[in-house]
Amino acid sequence: MEKTKLHAAEEKLKAIYGYDCFRKGQQAIIEKVLDGIDTIGIMPTGGGKSLCYQIPALLLPGVTLVISPLISLMKDQVDALNELNIPATYLNSTLRSDEESIRHSRIKEGYYKLVYVAPERLNHPSFQQLLKHITLSLVAIDEAHCMSQWGHDFRPSYLSISSWLEEIPQQVTVLALTATATTQVCQDLQQFLQIEEQNVISTGFERSNLTFQVKKGVNKKKFMASFLASRKNESGIIYASTRKEVEQIYHELSSVGFDVTPYHGGMNEQERSKGQEAFIHDEAKIIVATNAFGMGIDKSNVRFVLHYNLPRTIEAYYQEAGRAGRDGEDSECVLLFSPQDVRTQTFLIEQSDRTNDRQEMEYKKLQQMTAFCHTERCLQQYILHYFGEDTSKTCGKCSNCVQTGEKVDRTKEAQMVFSCVKRVRERFGKTIIAQILVGSTNQKLKQLNLTSVTTYGLMSDWTQKDVAELIDILMAEEYITPTGTSYPTIQLTEKAVQVLKGEVRVQITESLAPVQPEEQDDVFEVLRKLRKQLSTENNLPPYMIFSDKTLKEMSRYIPVT
Ligand code: ADP
Ligand code: MG
Ligand code: ZN
């Protein structure tokens, strides 16, 4: 690439956007595009993907077409460009036909450098007619993961893009951009767009200014109230999974004086955009929303994203959480976990009229999302591994890196679980395994002739729920893996075999051990503090003061006042 082209790009960056230097990845992508090479650009949310096509658009002859799924945001995006004196416009179904034809003629005159369209438009006869009269230099596909069935947000309208590209007679450069490409999604994109490996530019997915936390077994309402109370002047997003839940949280928070606005698909267009505008312009500090909110929104000073419920996939989670800290300042991402949310999501997948293959994939993704909540690994690292990035670096600040709970040796219990799985020849799932181990009198066990298994009743001093939770943790740490979907069964991995042989010990962080019923949280916490105090005073490990189980039993019998 010639120096002059890069120089010209840098000049635009300064003169138009007022930025001093390119961010990671931007320069490499812009260089490829200016050299006419088809490219895939992968950068995290907030990484600065828009500049990667906007600056080339200003330097290349003719028009840059931007394909985007976000009809509701096209106007905002175009307005923002116009404010920078960049001639841009959009074509979509919200335009009246006279307005549309005015825009068509101005596009033909060569007035606009950028034209935003939704993928549905590509095959409109009028649009194809228009194309005959203009020079297309660059086609930018924003949110390109929507092309892949393996993406978490597949859109059938995106499928037509690759055949459309093949059919257009003009020689154009293609730039596909996304923040959420797993290895599989990236391979799909390469295949659809015929882009070679060396033209995939990925900056990696790391967001070092974000601190991830998973909170389990907390009373969600109380946690949220105290979390927000200590962040009074900060802007943040609260994601909940249903409209009903959004409404409830909204009413609760506004009734105690929080500056909050709701957002979900059940509200009408006008109400929604009013809320969105208020949030973006800092008139409302907090937005409580379903996942309908956020794609393509560029608000830089979001200081926290709180997930009140479990999202369905890591991709969705990371994209939502990634809306915090676009300005690069430290920001928090907190996920409140409850097992009930897993059941709700499983139910929703069951109810969906998707094909079996698709459902199977969704179960798997949900399982990986659940494992994120149970893992002991660094949370940022877990996400990076999920997206295929091989790293051993830990973030040093997520709720797993900063451990508050003590490690407890659960080798013995893990061995019991593994031998039970082995005894039943890996033919059963979590519930049955837990029932066998606690010695449940459930009729089904009798019918299946499982009460005579040698591991029956081996953990009779545990509750079934706690054993199930332990199994979840062992699964998150990949000692065991689920297989099958409609009747998931559990299989041992090589790691479990080593534990059974006594070669590897299983250490579990105490705070990850069995979850409390919500009402008893406070009592449990008070008791835990007391234990900690006793343990320091007497210089004994906490479990020698009293075990987790005792702690829990005690908190169950002490009334909440
Ligand atoms: P995304 O990758 O999520 O599409 P955007 O393109 O919306 O991200 O950019 C996110 C923010 O980063 C915007 O506010 C943008 O102005 C800013 N930004 C982009 N590039 C730079 C840069 N080189 N220097 C400083 N800020 C930048
Ligand atoms: Mg973007
Ligand atoms: Zn970490």
Chain segment 246-282, per-residue pLDDT in tens:
999 999 999 999 999 999 999 998 999 899 999 999 9
| 393-396: long-range pairs with CB below 8 Å, 24+ | 395/208, 395/211, 395/212
Tell me what pLDDT residue 279 has: 95
Average pLDDT over residues 405-430: 91
Handedness of CA 436, 439, 444, 449 (dihedral sign): positive
Give the three-class secondary structure for 247: helix
Residue that is written with structure tokens 């189980």 in the block: 549
Please give the distance, rounded to the nearest whole angstrom, from the Cα atom of residue 176 to the centre of ligand 1.
Answer: 17
CB 23 near ligand 1, within 6 Å: yes
**CA distances from residue 89 to 51, 66, 76, 77 in whole angstroms, order as listed:** 16, 10, 10, 9
Report how far Cα 45 is from the mean position of its chain's Cα atoms: 11
Q: Which of 152-166, 186-200, 213-227, 509-523 has the lowest mean pLDDT?
A: 509-523
- Residue 27 contacts residue 8 (beta carbons within 8 Å): no
The β-bridge relationship of strands 235-239 and 480-483 is unpaired
Residue whose Cα lies nearest atom 15 of ligand 1: it is: 48
CB 298 near ligand 1, within 6 Å: yes
Nearest residue to 413 (alpha-carbon basis) of 318, 302, 505? 505
In the structure, ligand 3 is a single-atom ion and the residues with CB under 5 Å from it are 378, 394-395, 398, 401
Nearest-atom number in ligand 1 for the CA of 298 is 7
CB 323 near ligand 1, within 6 Å: no
- As given in the structure block, the two tokens for residue 480 are 């065991």
Phi, psi angles (nearest 5°) of residue 431: -60, -50
Tell me what pLDDT residue 111 has: 96
Span 98-132, pLDDT tens digits: 999 999 999 999 999 999 999 999 999 999 999 99
Residue whose Cα lies nearest atom 18 of ligand 1: it is: 48
In sequence order, what are the residues at sequence separation of 6 or more whose Cβ sits closer than 8 angstroms to the Cβ of residue 350?
359
Q: Where are the beta strands (DSSP E) in 133-259?
A: 136-141, 173-178, 200-202, 210-216, 235-239
Average pLDDT over residues 299-319: 95
Band of the pLDDT at 139, cuts 50, 70, 90? very high
Residue that is written with structure tokens 């041992």 in the block: 492
Band of the pLDDT at 222, cuts 50, 70, 90? confident
Report how far Cα 247 is from the mean position of its chain's Cα atoms: 22
pTM of the model: 0.73
